[in-house]
Chain A
Amino acid sequence: MRQLTLGGVAVRVAITLLCVLWFIPTLGLLVSSFRDEADVKTSGWWTVITDPFSQWTFDSYRQVLESGMANAFVNSIVVSVPATLLPIMIAAFAAYAFTFMRFWGRNVLFMLIVGLLVVPLQVAFVPLLNLFTDYDLNGTFLAVWLAHTGFGMPLAVYILRNYMSSLPHEIIESAEIDGASHFQTFWRLIVPMSVPALAAFAIFQFLWVWNDLLVALIFLGAGDNEVVTITLRDLIGDKGQEWHLLTAGAFITMTVPLLVFFSLQRYFVRGLTAGSVKG
């Protein structure tokens, strides 16, 4: 199959075309973000091909960072990390019980979790807003942490439980015979053995929270605590003509997910393959 047959050439041409097609929109944004404001607004980014040694600048990045993006970047980190770690621990305990313990209502409860995987988040917003208002939580980080913990829980339990049920049961049984309690078995055996699944979910949830606009818009809103997706949305909405700021802003918001994604791609892919549903 490796010879350069007609079919082989066709395959190469087709895949190259697809890749170019997929990459061009992003490339346009990347190139534009380093161009001068006047150039971005008056000529296409592809003109740099004929004039490659002019007009490069970091001005747009500097401007957009100074106009609130730096603050939003910090906020996004403060939102994303706890919103990733909190659901993992709670879900890990539950997944352990669903996998290794027998109790009344186990199957019903787990089916409930499977069902909740597909429930659209929107159904929860109005009552949760009311609830958070009662406790004066709207616009605080705590509100988003809690909301993301709740919304991420079904997928977390589902992925971790599926992974744990693939672990050899004999290990747990022998631990039990040796007199280990469930609590000890959980911390000393199951958690270390589940690291791939825990990492996969962590990456998944982190990207989801970092990239989320809707939950942030509703429970955090604009202002001091706004996250990068909201800042970017405002750039698009209010300054629709400020293309130079928009391109730089978009790339700043993309740095963290792309970094996470390219450094941990292996785990990320495994996470997708393990639990390919998100509620």
Chain B
Amino acid sequence: MKVSLKWLSDYVDIKIDPQKLAEKLTMAGMEVKGLQTVGNTWNNVVIGQVAAVNSHPDADKLNLATVNLGPQQITVVCGAPNISVGQKVPFAYVGARLIDGHTGKATLLKATKIRGILSEGMVCSEKELGISENHESILVLSPEAPMGMPLADYLGDIVFDLDITPNRPDCLSIIGIAREIAALSDEPIHLPEIRYEEMEKPIDSLISVDIIEPDLCLRYCASLITGIKVASSPAWLQQRLRSYGMRPINNVVDVSNYVMLEHGQPLHAFDYHKLEGKQIVVRRAKSGETIITLDGLERTLTQDTLVIADEENPVAIAGLMGGLNTEVDVTTTAILLESANFNRSIIRRGANHLNLQSEASIRFDKGLNPDLPLVALKRATQLLLELAGGKAARGIIDAYPGKTAPSAILLSTKEIKRLSGLEVTVDETLRILRALGFECQETGLLPPQISVLVPYWRSDMKCTADLVEEVIRIIGYDKIPVTRLSASLPPQKSTPERSFKRKLRNTLVGWGFQEILTYSLTSMEKLQRLSLKLEPEVAPLQIANPMTKGQEYLRTSLRAGLLTTLANNQKHEETGIRLFEIGKIFLPQYSSVIAVGQTRGSGEGKVKQSTQDKEGLPQEKEMLCAALSGSRRELSWHDNKELFDFFDAKGVAERLLEQLGLTSTFEPSDDEGLFPGRSADVIIGGDKVGVVGKLHSKVAQDFELSGPVCLIEVDVEKLMNKASGAKRYQPIPRFPSITRDIALVINEQVTFQQAEDIILSFPLVEKATLFDLYTGEQIPEGKKSFAIRIIYQSPKRTLTEREVDKIQQQMLAGLHRELGATLRG
């Protein structure tokens, strides 16, 4: 909301510096986003009067204007078509700083020869002065403008740009802000006095008003003026509209806009003679009914739109825009001026539906008070009579089905203290509330209570807390003391999930993984590229109003975001990349009953709409997904450059689970996003908690990844539940262990797991570590060699070589019997 300081000064004396005032308003909840000084660059620009206009001897479209500046007259070349003798105009001397009408840049005015005639000075347009974009015509000032006066003294102003919060529709008006300033600076407010003459004929003999929808139109006020003359508004009025950023149109439209800016109440003028049947009906539109609005568009209405109609047709969409059929134009001689209160929801829905946000809809939308229309209507009627002539019919139409009695709110200084911590006296409270226009009465009860009646313009005041805010914001939030919360501390509970996630994150970061955070929303295309079977097999949740195709579905896997990030980074990272994300995936929960036939969405996302179970919200599951790609080590002169493979991913999973005190097994996985035969399910206690593996080459290709990529994916919650068991300490072995290395030659098909299971089944075997796997020379075709280090250990005694030899012989026999393994010679 842009507010001119000059305009504000009509209603309140402003004695403090504008910068200070801006700070006060900001502190009190009315944030001043900008403070623009109009005219601070107008040096060498004065008010002149056009004394003569002659055509340029050598140019058809140019004139020679002689401007009287008081002490002297200057003749300059002028191209504006609207210049005429007698006008008061802004005149710039050579040396003035103006905006160039063509380039938009600030330039110093120089004397120039235009088509042979020397022009020393210029009559200015609004654009040249930086007031608006208008460069077609010169700015014509009010006839009262004093000749020779510097323009800055006459037109200079300060414009505040205020951010008005949605609870304060009253401050979408100059008077509303003047009231704030009055209360903040303890000055009285002066409102315009409203008085005008009426003719004999009563208004209800000329027009009737019928409200069919009293819930949607709480009040409808109207006045009627006949014999008016539609023309341009006077310069002062145009100037004020411009200070707000509005374009002047004609006196009727300008007055209704002016009063809207002044009081915050939107008004609308109908050409009275164009109203069929001389009646106004406030009703819902009939389905399919059409109206051509003032912007020339034909609009088809629904029953969800409130219209103002005459006997036959809609003549306006209530609160949004008038109809072309009753437009006020130069031929208009009588107008019906409407000032009404419409239900904010229907205005809001209509504005969204018809895409018709306007100054009026913005105000109705915030909820205006039904007491406002009458005040604004009288003010507008008075101004119209002054500026457009004519006579007002006697009385005013006032249909007010929604009238309610004002109710009082009780406030005590104790309550102010209880909520704000600020000690305020009863007198101070009364002073502030009265300055804001509240009617206050002390109840005489103990503890002292004030009964407060809310003024009609403050529709946001509903309860005691609202009043507390009013009092303390006028005193200033900077006066509120700073205290340390002394309330009792609630019992502190542990947050295991958070700690667990932190542990996972820190562990992976310690191993060189970079954490990433990717969007929860993704595209169906990306989810499909993962070629994942969803479990349970349902479509991901779809956004009804997605911003982009790329963010239309809630992710059901972290993989898409991770792989996309990986592909993006592969383009510039030279060496190995380790990434992980811990985050939520969203699994819709459908009940077993599937509603048949209902579909929603469009395109590839079309899925069966299912009846949801009573929870209805999706399961939000915390997952961990990590990826490895590129070389195992960073590029270095010192080490090998091998690429990450399946066993790196498996190693991460194994070590991670080990850190959590979990024992896991790995079984071949049928995960369709992973490479068959190079992927494994991670099993703990018979339960699958995740998967590791090499990414399927098809998926890698679809995500434009280069080189092999390995994934680790685990269900964080499952893992946490498994890891939550109490840990028991294991004593450090007191006796020495015995280490034996064996090299087994074994059939290619035999897995390491099979050999390991047999080895570990023998007594006293503490650990078996595979330290070499070999095929090739010296090993027959179809065979491989495992080199295994076995550690024998007893908790009770020192082992002898002899007993270990004996166990190992039995073990080798077992390996031979079960797996056909032989010792490598």
Q: Do A and B bind each other?
A: no
